[in-house]
Structure 1
Amino acid sequence: MKFYTSIIIQFPLLCYIICNHQIEGASADPKGKLHFSMSSLKNQTGHWETCFSVNKKSRKLPNSWKVDIHHNIEEQNGEISLHLSGVLTAPPPLPEDYELFHGIGYYKLHHTSKGFDDASSICSKEGGHLVIINSEAEADVLKTIHARFPGLIPWAFIGIHDRQKEGEFITIFGKPLNSTGYSHWRNPKEPNGGVNENCGTVHRDGGLNDYLCSLPIPFFCEYDLSWRSL
């Protein structure tokens, strides 16, 4: 009898993929030490049992984890195949200086101007990502934060761009803008920058604009509320 497995273990910005191997084990070092092991045994009643364990050592462990396991057994030409896949997710720690808006998320407006790529990198290093607006309520949150700083320029980078195909804005995670729940451009002429302005911003009034990616401006980071419920 042959067993084939596909295991995916996810950590922030790091994904370990072990596929089409006979059941053994694996170890890695995601800013600490990670060990994965799995075994399959037939018990006294004839049932096959698959047991696995994940052990991680680091200076600080996540407060919550989420594990999803799926398995499928098929028989063809007298051969039984087992496909087992699993996802272990540990969210990044909550940044201390992000503000909670209940029921919506955690947010931070960076006043120090950066280009789009540097802004995205800073958000990631903090454990978040450039804001992706999913609703009018979330847009209102950004307007509330921005209104506290009337002297700040009125635009801030968010997590959308049309770098892959001109005119087709997507999120930093590759999802179409029109699937996010919020695609309100500031005026009917937006986006109007053509090939020169490929990165998305939000105005202090909540309207979206395209902007030169390399031109430093403030930016919004968010930490997803859903990450706290894992």
Structure 2
Amino acid sequence: MAAPHRSLPLYCAVLLTMIFCNSYALAEKCGLNTEFNIIVTSRRNRTGHWITSFEAEKTEPTRTSKEISINVTQSTSSCHGLETYKLTSTATVSNHVFRPPSDYELVDEQYYYKLPHVAVSWHDARTTCEKDGAHLLIINSEDEALTVKRYRDRKPKLSGDVGIHDTWVGISDEEKEGEFKTIFGQPFASTGYPKWQGGSPQDGTSFNCVYFSTWKGYLGLAVRDCKKLQPFICEFDVLLSPSS
């Protein structure tokens, strides 16, 4: 995986800071007691986009005339003879040109999922996802678990009882009994969603592959025979994909 490229968001943040500072500096009067604060934050979401946010705040005596020429959201408040101007905006930058196949759906602006309309074994599910350059679903938080449930609920169901509640995920203990790891070799506890139904994996001595269940509205993970045929979700993570 290539190292994240941070220069562009940082450049945006620095440029915005220079614009704000220069705009105020031109309008300042010597000896005027003012305060001016800029807060810049940058993060990268799961779709590979850099989100750079900035917030500028200036406090000065009431009835002081100032003009700011920049396309941002501005709010003003007064208190004890002081007026506070608050400017906010957000810049979004992506340095990735590699995108998932067209049949992957961007869900909740964070995850690229595909739910093939077929029930297969755990190993076949893993192979199918990898052929797309994706991977078998790995849930990383309670929020993502809820996202997966909503995504599954609005998709067509397979006939019969298969595929109504259960979905294969990329976790198993095939290498060493009782030691569950992701398909990337990471410890199960590191996924951010180590939530077993009943508090622990059932029948762990005989079953090795993990699935996500929404049976009776309860969200959690459980294990069963890897040869069991059931639906699966492929997850395409832009951060793990090559950029060109």
TM-score, reference length from structure 2: 0.53
Q: Which residue of 2 aligns with 1:221?
A: 234
Equivalent AA in structure 2 for residue 129 of structure 1: H
Where do residues 26-45 of structure 1 align in structure 2 (5 Å cutoff)? Answer: none
- Structure 1 residue runs of 4 or more that deviate by more than 3 Å after TM superposition: 90-93, 149-152, 227-230
User: Over the residues paired in the alignment, what is the CA RMSD in angstroms?
Assistant: 2.7
Q: Which residue of 1 aligns with 2:169?
A: 158
Equivalent AA in structure 2 for residue 195 of structure 1: T
Q: Structure 2 stretches of 5 or more lacking a match?
A: 3-47, 49-95, 158-162
CA distance in 2: counterparts of 1:157 and 1:223, whole angstroms: 15
CA distance in 1: counterparts of 2:156 and 2:118, whole angstroms: 15
Equivalent AA in structure 1 for residue 167 of structure 2: A
Q: Which residue of 2 aligns with 1:121?
A: 127
Seen in structure 2, the aligned counterparts of structure 1 residues 91 and 184 have a Cα distance that, compared at 3 Å, is farther
Which of 176, 193, 209 is the aligned partner of 1:199?
209
Q: Which residue of 2 aligns with 1:147?
A: 153
Contact 1:160/1:170 (8 A) holds in 2: yes
Paired residue total? 143
CA deviations 1:99-133 (Å, max 9, x no partner) are 10245210112230110111000001112100111
User: Quick check: 110-119 or 190-199, which moved more?
Assistant: 190-199
Where do residues 48-127 of structure 1 align in structure 2 (5 Å cutoff)? Answer: 93-127=99-133
Equivalent AA in structure 1 for residue 102 of structure 2: E
Equivalent AA in structure 1 for residue 138 of structure 2: I
CA distance in 1: counterparts of 2:169 and 2:240, whole angstroms: 19
Q: Structure 1 stretches of 5 or more lacking a match?
A: 1-8, 11-63, 65-89
Q: Secondary structure at the match of 2:118?
A: strand
Residue 168 in 1 paired to residue 175 in 2?
Answer: no
Q: Which residue of 2 aligns with 1:28?
A: none
Higher strand proportion:
1
Identity %: 41
CA deviations 1:77-116 (Å, max 9, x no partner) are xxxxxxxxxxxxx997511111102452101122301101
Residue 177 in 1 paired to residue 177 in 2?
Answer: no
Seen in structure 2, the aligned counterparts of structure 1 residues 94 and 217 have a Cα distance that, compared at 3 Å, is same
Contact 1:105/1:224 (8 A) holds in 2: yes
CA distance in 2: counterparts of 1:92 and 1:214, whole angstroms: 33
Q: Which residue of 2 aligns with 1:186?
A: 197
Equivalent AA in structure 1 for residue 190 of structure 2: S
CA distance in 2: counterparts of 1:217 and 1:92, whole angstroms: 30
CA distance in 2: counterparts of 1:166 and 1:227, whole angstroms: 28
- 1:195 Cα deviation (Å)? 3.1
TM-score, reference length from structure 1: 0.56
- 1:150 Cα deviation (Å)? 7.6
Contact 1:103/1:225 (8 A) holds in 2: no
Q: Which residue of 1 aligns with 2:16?
A: none
